[in-house]
Homo-oligomer: A and B are copies of this chain.
Amino acid sequence: MEIENYIQKVTLNAREASLNLAVVNSELKNSILNTMADRILSGSVHLKKANSEDLEAGRKAGLSSAMLDRLELTDDRIKEMAESVHDIANLKDPVGSVIDGWTLTNGLRLKRVRVPLGVVCIIYESRPNVTADAAALCIKSGNAVILRGGKEAFNSNMAIYQRLQAAFKNTELSPHCLQLIETTDRSAVPPLLTADDCVDVIIPRGGKSLIRHVVETATIPVIKHYDGICHTFVDQECEMNMALEICENAKCQRPGTCNAMETLLVHEKVANDFLPRIQKKLQARGVELRGCTKTRAILSDIKEAEEEDWKTEYLDMILSIRIVKGINEAIDHINTYGSGHSDAIVTDELASAERFQNAVDSATVYVNASTRFTDGGQFGLGAEIGISTNKLHARGPMALEELTTYKWLINGEGQTRQ
């Protein structure tokens, strides 16, 4: 009950703070962000001390070395975190831009204007730098933000939060524009996910079980990122060397990311030629290949791909390969097993390119490029708060604009409805 009261207070405070934050100009928001960045840098000793407590607790709890590495704050990482906040301050503010507008026959003037969503709640398990990044993106777009970080990074997150928080001092904005849940108690989460009256959107960032829990519990709208099961389809007519390079890049450049290729689809007419060459290239990079029966008739030394492989996001140096009869089978495979994230075709044929982009039901569909480009920064959107596999509101990379909604402003001179 005590926790519920605490969460209720936090969410009410956020809602109240959001109303003022929504109407201040960019200059004030930018100045707060720049102060935040400076305070991260100048707090480096303090941040590392708090972080060392997390690291020690993590070692005792037996966290993997990969997890400990993700958790660690070094001087370089602290500097990067501050720079990222400065960069966000320099982005264009989406608030106030007019989306469209027109005049009705009765003389009413309508326009749709971008406004902040209101209160954004971010639940994350990731590196402590998310604390600063998410806070900066939300404040920049005029949203009050409630952060709920992972248990392992609690001290680091608290320390970063305190540095950021102080940036609201001596401004006209309430410090409740930015709040971090100051407990690791799991019972804090359900009341957050159902605070419909105060919170406008929940963005979970982390593993599938976290996201599933949020989706099942929340009554507030959720923008989520599930799997990235990305495909590359090598078509009958294509430049073989381009196909080899795109596939190598999509699989190997950073295999642990959501936009890396997990399944390679190859047109049966080029399989005999293409498969031995891509095998050579990928095996030299240490990729384990798993193939369908037809693939294994060509690459006899690789493992069989099971039904489960087509549904798996490996996030690892593993690739499943399937030979398809043509573009329709490739499209069907992607729409059946894919996760609607990023898929690519390598082709020379205009009709194939257009058919593929039209029919593949994914957030991002590439022709003759690596799926690894799906990223707010790469797209030129500036920093991203995540990549959405939702279809509602935001699809693909979510940046500042996706942290806004719109309102209809209508001006008349006494019009009434007949």
Interface residue ranges, A against B (CB under 8 Å): 19, 22-23, 102, 104, 108, 110, 115, 117-118, 196, 200-201, 215-216, 219, 221-223, 239, 242, 245-246, 248-250, 253, 335, 353, 357-359, 361-370, 372-374, 378-380, 390-393, 395-396, 405-418
Contact = CB atoms under 8 A, between A and B. Distances in A.
Contacts of A357: 409
Given A392-B117, A396-B408, A410-B369, A22 B361 contact: yes
B253 A23 contact: no
Contact of A410 (B215, B366, B416): B366
A298 to B, nearest CB: 24
A367 B378 CA distance: 42
A353 B417 CA distance: 21
Contacts of A221: 221-222, 390-392
A416 B245 contact: yes
B239 A414 contact: yes
A130 to B, nearest CB: 21
Contact of A366 (B22, B253, B372, B412): B412
Nearest to A22: B361
Contact of A108 (B216, B373, B393): B373
A406 B409 CA distance: 25
Given A380-B104, A392-B405, A396-B408, A368 B117 contact: no
Given A361-B19, A367-B412, A412-B367, A373 B246 contact: no
Contacts of A417: 249, 253, 370, 372-373, 378
Contacts of A367: 409-412
A146 B409 CA distance: 34
